[in-house]
C-alpha cells in the first residue's frame, strides 16, 4: 500500500457550544467534548484508511481549561502513528470566546482507532508517510505509548 502523509487526513471540526451541551453553570460537559474528539479522530482515521473505523482506546485525555456556552470549539485530529491495522490520532481542542476574540487550548488526548473490513475484522491500512523531524518524533513517542499500553493490558489480564 502507498504511504500517505499526515496532511491527507488531518481534519478540524467546529461546534458552537449551546446550553444543552452544558451544565447549569454554563460549562460544556466533558462527555460532549469527548464525543466531538472521538468524531474528529474517526474522520481522520477513516480518511487515512478509507474504511470503517472503531475506537479501540484513549490515553492521556486532559481537560486543561473550561469551555463555556457560546464558545466556538475547534477540534483538530491528526495521525501520529500507523501500525498494521491501527492508527494513533492526536486530538487537540481549542475554544474561542467569540465576544472577546480569545482562543484557549482546552483539551487534548490520543485516540487509537482500528480499521475494519466488511466482516468487522481488523483490516490493513496504508503506512503513514513521515515528512519531517517533528513527525518522526511524534511517531517515536506514539510507538513508546503503544508499547506501554500493551504491557499494561497484559498486566491487567494477569490479575
CB-nearer residue toward ligand COA: 43 or 106: 43
Output the nine-digit C-alpha cell for 60: 492521556
Residue 61 binds to ligand COA (criterion: CB under 6 A): no
Q: Which of 78, 86, 96, 107 binds ligand COA (CB under 6 A)?
A: 86
Residue 57 binds to ligand COA (criterion: CB under 6 A): yes
β-bridge partners, 145: none
Smallest distance from ligand COA to CB 102, Å: 34
> Locate cell 463555556: which residue?
68
CA distance linking residue 69 with residue 28, whole number of Å: 7
Smallest distance from ligand COA to CB 114, Å: 4
139 and 128 in contact (C-beta within 8 Å)?
A: yes
CB-nearer residue toward ligand COA: 17 or 114: 114
Which residues have a Cβ under 8 Å from the Cβ of 58 and sit 6 or more positions away?
34, 38, 109, 110, 111, 112
Outline where 88-132 has alpha helix (H): none
CB-nearer residue toward ligand COA: 15 or 55: 55
CB-nearer residue toward ligand COA: 94 or 110: 110
Q: Which of 55, 108, 127, 145 binds ligand COA (CB under 6 A)?
A: 55
Output the nine-digit C-alpha cell for 154: 497484559
Residue 10 binds to ligand COA (criterion: CB under 6 A): no
**Dihedral angle computed from the Cα positions of residues 150, 151, 152 and 153, in that order, rounded to the nearest 10 degrees:** 50
**Residue count, binding to ligand COA (CB under 6 A):** 12
β-bridge partners, 72: 16, 96
Q: Which residues of this protein are in contact with ligand COA, per CB under 6 A?
A: 54-57, 83-86, 112, 114, 122, 149
Amino acid at each position: 500500500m502507498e504511504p500517505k502523509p499526515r496532511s491527507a487526513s488531518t481534519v478540524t471540526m467546529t461546534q458552537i457550544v449551546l446550553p444543552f451541551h452544558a451544565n447549569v453553570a454554563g460549562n460544556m460537559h466533558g462527555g460532549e467534548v469527548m464525543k466531538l474528539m472521538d468524531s474528529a479522530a474517526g474522520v481522520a482515521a477513516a480518511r487515512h484508511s478509507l474504511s470503517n473505523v472503531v475506537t479501540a482506546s484513549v490515553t492521556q485525555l486532559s481537560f486543561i481549561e473550561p469551555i463555556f456556552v457560546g464558545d466556538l470549539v475547534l477540534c483538530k485530529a491528526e495521525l501520529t502513528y500507523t501500525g498494521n491495522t491501527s492508527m494513533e490520532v492526536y486530538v487537540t481542542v481549542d475554544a474561542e470566546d467569540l465576544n472577546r476574540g480569545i482562543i484557549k487550548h482546552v483539551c487534548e488526548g490520543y485516540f487509537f482507532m482500528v480499521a475494519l473490513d466488511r466482516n468487522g475484522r481488523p483490516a490493513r491500512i496504508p503506512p503513514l508517510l513521515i515528512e519531517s523531524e517533528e513527525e518522526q518524533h511524534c511517531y517515536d513517542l506514539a510507538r513508546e505509548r503503544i508499547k506501554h499500553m500493551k504491557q499494561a493490558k497484559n498486566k491487567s489480564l494477569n490479575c
